[in-house]
Amino acid sequence: MSARLCSFETLPAVFTSEECDRIRELGKSLDLKNATTHDDKAGVNLAAMKRNCEVHFVKPAHEGWQWVFARINEHAHGLNGKRWGFDVKDIEDIQYTSYGFGEFYASHFDNGSTMTEHRKLSISVQLSPPKEYVGGALRFWSMNDTQAAGKEQGSMTCFPAYLMHVAKPVWWGRREVLVTWMHGESRLR
């Protein structure tokens, strides 16, 4: 497998800081719940030792969010065409994710269960400015190395859904991100 297929890329300033603040205001109206993980046998299973954060899934028709979906789709399709060339559709629902003190998501793949096997490209948009929290790095295991995505507010990191990654614990403040995925008709082989 080539290094290109086992890597991530971060696009800076996909959203301005003002737009990130606007999205965070939209996020305040969401009913955040404790996050769960997928488990093939049980459907959905809360795994506190694997994932500890709050989330809410936003649908494309959710009032006020259409421009966010359009912007992410525009940049993700462009980067996918330039970098990976996966056969993908528009993004799934957006997961508004909030990590507070000690919250994290342990090492995982985004297409590791029958419910998620059609995911091809994972996307993370940084909403919080880096000065608002300590820790919380998005790290990747790639070609026997670990690397961290940038923390710049408004940046968007894309990577193949089969790339192992982790959201490290936040030690101070709050990290807010948008997470979503592009999928295709068939799973990656």
pLDDT at position 142 over 70:
no
Q: Compute the distance between CA of residue 90 and CA of residue 180 in angstroms, rounded to an integer.
A: 10
Confidence tier at 38 by pLDDT (50, 70, 90): low
Assess if residue 64 is contained within a domain: yes
With cut-offs at 50, 70 and 90, classify the pLDDT of residue 40: very low
Q: Which residue has the higher pLDDT, 188 or 60?
A: 60
Give the pLDDT score at 1. 45
Is residue 2 scored above 60 in pLDDT? Answer: no
Q: Which domain range does residue 71 map to?
A: 3-183
Cβ atoms of 105 and 35 closer than 8 Å: yes
Tell me the per-residue pLDDT of 55-94, one tens digit each, with 9 for 90 and over: 999 999 999 999 999 999 999 999 999 999 999 999 999 9
With 70 as the cut, is the pLDDT of residue 45 above it?
Answer: no
CATH number at residue 162: 2.60.120.620
User: Would residue 188 count as lying in a domain?
Assistant: no
pTM (predicted TM-score): 0.90
Quote the number of domains for the chain: 1
Q: How far apart are the first and last CA of the chain?
A: 11
In a domain, 67, yes or no: yes
Phi, psi (deg, nearest 5) at residue 170: -85, 130
CA-closest candidate to residue 23, choices 122, 125, 106: 125
Stronger pLDDT, 24 or 116, i.e. the higher one: 24
**Residue 69 maps to a domain:** yes
Tell me, yes or no, whether 175 lies in a domain: yes
On whether residue 189 sits in a domain, the answer given is no
More confident residue, 23 or 184: 23
Alpha-carbon distance of 105 to 99, in angstroms, equals 9
pLDDT at 184 over 70: yes
